[in-house]
Every structure is written in structure tokens, then in C-alpha cells.
Structure 1
Amino acid sequence: MSSPMTAAAPEPRADGIRIRRATGADSRRLTAMARRSRAYEGHYAAMVAGLTVGPVYIETHRVHVATDADGTPLGFYALLLDAAELDLMFVADRAQGLGIGRLLIDHMTAEAREHGLDTVRVVSHPPAEGFYRAVGAARTGTVPADPPVVGWPRPELHFRLTPEG
């Protein structure tokens, strides 16, 4: 039984934003959003330069996309159920500051609970740590650098989930 948040055709919010399960057809747009993210400019660019959010990845994992009233992607996340990990999360540069990130995190935690997870790990992009902490994640450690792509340590955080939210 699907919850309203994970139903095949979710109802749009008053502002027209909806979150739906991504499909292989979203691959190019989600890949472009990640690769063009201003959060990964400069020395962080190497992390997303070769990133591809391909159709197989989308079909294999719990990838959800937030869209506006016209169906244009505003952000997305990928939840790896087996690893209990938020693998990817991006908000389009033009949608920064509109609450899309918080909306996606709320959806992700509901999705994780629905699948029986009690915690979700996040290895954060260093500048995003403040966001994750603001939406309820707690820092639990540091993941060491992994050159050549990741030349800096990254914060490790966890969302601790309770059945009631």
C-alpha cells in the first residue's frame, strides 16, 4: 500500500510543486542539474564532472524528483535502501532558497520509514553540512579524503528516524 507521498500520481501542492518517482526519461535533466550545480564550482568540480544519473541507476534506486507546475525538475534525491544512505541530493540553482531541499528531505525520511529504515546516512558535500543539520541530521564523523576525485574530508551525518516522525 502506497502512502500519499509515494503514490504513482501525487497531488500537487498549492504552489504546483509535486514530488514523484523519477524515470529513466529524467536521466539527462538530473545529470545536467548535478553537473551544473554552483555548489560544485572550483576545486569541488571534480566530484560531479563525470557524474551520470543514468536510467539504470534511477530504476535501481529510490530516486525522486521535485517538479514545478510545468513538470520542470527543481531538485532530486536518491535513497539507497540496502545501504540506508542518501546517495545524491541536488536542488537546481534557480530553486535554491525556496524550500525544495527541506521538502525533498521530508519526503526522503518518509520514504525511508516506509521501507523500515530507522537511520539514513549522509556523506555530505562540505558546504552542505549546515543544511543537513538544519533539517535534522546529526554529525557522526568524518569520511577521509579519497583522491583524486575527492581531495578533502567530508562530514558524515545521520538522520535518526522514529516511527512517528
Structure 2
Amino acid sequence: MGSTIIRRAVGQDAERLTALVQGADAYRGTYASIISDYRVTADYIARHQVFVAVDTDGRVLGFYALVLDPAELDLIFVADEAQGRGIGRLLVAHMIEQAGHAGLGDVRVVSHPPAEKFYRRLGAERVGAVAPSPPKVAWERPELRFVIGR
């Protein structure tokens, strides 16, 4: 896979990031409704701290979006073919670094239920749950927090 570079996303990345979200196997079946019409837009990229992991050939391996106010890891996706290679861990470490530079004390994560263990392995603490909001989200979602500066 070669080296991975994390860079700030630009508006021209919006289509590729949307394709990554829409193609995520983790959101098939039960969880499909939450991303069915989701789009990452150039405006979203301009308003938030969006970073993309790419390989040396420029292929998108994953990305995350950190919202600063209120502090939340709004999105994090790793391409299906890049999973299991440490890209998610790299993105979370980068997000924590960026949150620290921004002076944040903690970062909230409302997790996709199957991803809770991933976040907890990386140091997030479960602080509660977010109730379903049908019809789009018919299941409870774990709420976690990364404490910054530990």
C-alpha cells in the first residue's frame, strides 16, 4: 500500500469522500438508512476540519471531519479495501492532535454501533447513548468522548 499521507481536504475532494461514504460496507443492511442520501459537500469541507488520508498514488484511503464548536468527531470513514491496515488508528491520532492544537479538552463521538469497540481501543470512553430518531436512525447509538491532552 505504500506510505500514507494525511492532508487537509479541499472542495475538489467532496465527490471522492461522498463515494467513500456511500460505498462503505459497514453501512449495508440495517444501517443503510443513515447514509442513503448523505453527501460530503465542498461547503462542509470549508466549514470544518476535514482531513483525508491518501497513498502515494493519491488514492483516498479514508478521512475524518472534526467539528470544533461543539467539539465532535462528526465523520470518520476508511475505504473498505484499506481496513485493517492502521488507517483508522492513524486518522484518530491525527484528529486528537488537531483537537489539541485547537485547544479542545475533549471530543464527542456518536458512534456507528459496530464501531464502538474501535473507538474504545483507541482511548475513547463511553459516556452514554443517543436515542433512535426514526425513520432514518432506528437504533440507539453509543456516545463516547476522547479526552484531549492525556
Q: Which runs of 4+ in 1 moved over 2 A?
A: none
Q: Displacement, 1:16?
A: 1.8
CA distance in 2, matches of 1:72, 1:150: 31
Q: Displacement, 1:161?
A: 1.0
- Provide, for residues 50-97 of structure 1, a one-character-per-residue CA deviation record: whole Å limited to 9, x for no partner: 110000000110000000010111000000001100000000000000
Please say if 1:91 is aligned against 2:78. yes
* 2:46 match: 59
* 2:29 match: 42
Give % identity.
Answer: 56
Q: Displacement, 1:102?
A: 0.3
Gaps of 5+ in 1: 1-14
**1:23 aligned to which of 3, 7, 10:** 10
* 1:114 match: 101
Name the Cα RMSD after superposition.
0.7
TM (norm. structure 1) is 0.89
CA distance in 2, matches of 1:58, 1:80: 10
CA distance in 1, matches of 2:51, 2:40: 12
CA distance in 2, matches of 1:68, 1:48: 25
CA distance in 2, matches of 1:158, 1:57: 22
SS at match of 2:108: strand
* 1:68 match: 55
Structure with greater strand share of residues: 2
